[in-house]
Amino acid sequence: MSRRIVLGSRGSKLALTQAELVAAKIREANPELEISVRRIGTEGDRNHTMPLENMAGIGVFIKELEDALFDGRIDLAVHSLKDMPAQLPSGLRLAAVMERLDPRDVLISRGQKLSELVPGARVGTGSLRRAVQLNIFRPGLEICSIRGNVDTRLRKVADGEFDGALLAAAGIKRLGQEDRINEYLSPEYFLPAVGQGALAVEIRSDDKETTEIITLLNHLTTWRNITAERSFLIALGGGCRAPIAALATTNGTTLKLEGMVADAVKKKMVRSAEEGNSAKPEDLGEKLAQKLLAMGAAEFIAEAR
């Protein structure tokens, strides 16, 4: 009798699409397995009005999925890695990451590029990180909070409620909506969220059978890159509310990590980069974090708590 594996996912179209991508990879390697996807609602999905930074706690898009892991309703949870907090609850672990798609942010508009939007144009984002970088790169725009799934955000731009919206390229591409992208925003000015573009698989730490199945999905280069980014986040204080961004890239045995910490109120940021051995991503993340803390990030983080 074949074993049944239950994947947990948020209920949005994007989340289910991502869960099916993971399910397909598992089926490909383990055709004898019976695999199903279970939809689980999260606080972040239910509350479409409150800005994310004002919602209590962290992990508002994953807590209910983790609860389902703990009580055995699902065997693994599929997340957008950028939604995962830096440190996971005892008893759960990050088991694998799929090969990362484009990590950049993009502009969705009605034809204009970011430099072409007139002063006062309304640009929507649900991210403090994007908002502070946009404020610095294009001062004079009206930056507005926007919530809801990808289709909702695209519709709000098409209907004229917003002149533009900033989203993650990877999500747009996974939904087959790449033709809606008006501009890819350079990481030189818009550094992405930690883990952006990568899909993560979370499981129970003691589940050896699922570990064996999932390990085959892990993409080593992506794993090293996101490990550097998450180590950077942890060294800065993990769940702090200050806008933080990081992007790691690998070239041969060299890993480059760029990082940013901002003050959303004062619209200031500190940013730098470090390079090191790709086999030691944790060390690189910690080194860059200490560098930015010394450059003033410690003050930004303290003020945001």
Q: How far is residue 180's CA from residue 252's CA, in Å, rounded to a whole number?
A: 34
Pick the catalytic residue from 45, 71, 75, 83.
83
CATH entry, 219-305, from 3.30.420.40, 3.40.50.1820, 3.40.50.880, 3.30.160.40 = 3.30.160.40
**Full-model pTM:** 0.92
Ranges in the chain, pLDDT < 70: 1-2, 44-58, 238-239
In this chain, the answer to whether the domains covering 1-98+198-218 and 105-185 adopt an identical fold is yes
Can you give the residue ranges of every domain in the chain?
1-98+198-218, 105-185, 219-305
- Topology adopted by domain 1-98+198-218: D-Maltodextrin-Binding Protein; domain 2 (3.40.190)
The pLDDT assigned to 56 comes to 40
Predicted confidence (pLDDT) per residue in 144-184, tens digit: 999 889 999 999 999 999 999 999 999 999 999 999 999 99
- Report how many helices (DSSP H) and strands (DSSP E) the chain contains, helices first: 10, 13
Asked: is 105-185 a CATH 3.40.190.10 domain? The reply is yes
The whole-angstrom separation of Cα 185 and Cα 195 is 17
Based on the residue annotation, tell me whether 83 is a catalytic residue of this protein. Answer: yes
Of 13, 108, 23, 9, the closest CA to residue 61 belongs to: 9
Question: What's residue 190's pLDDT?
Answer: 98
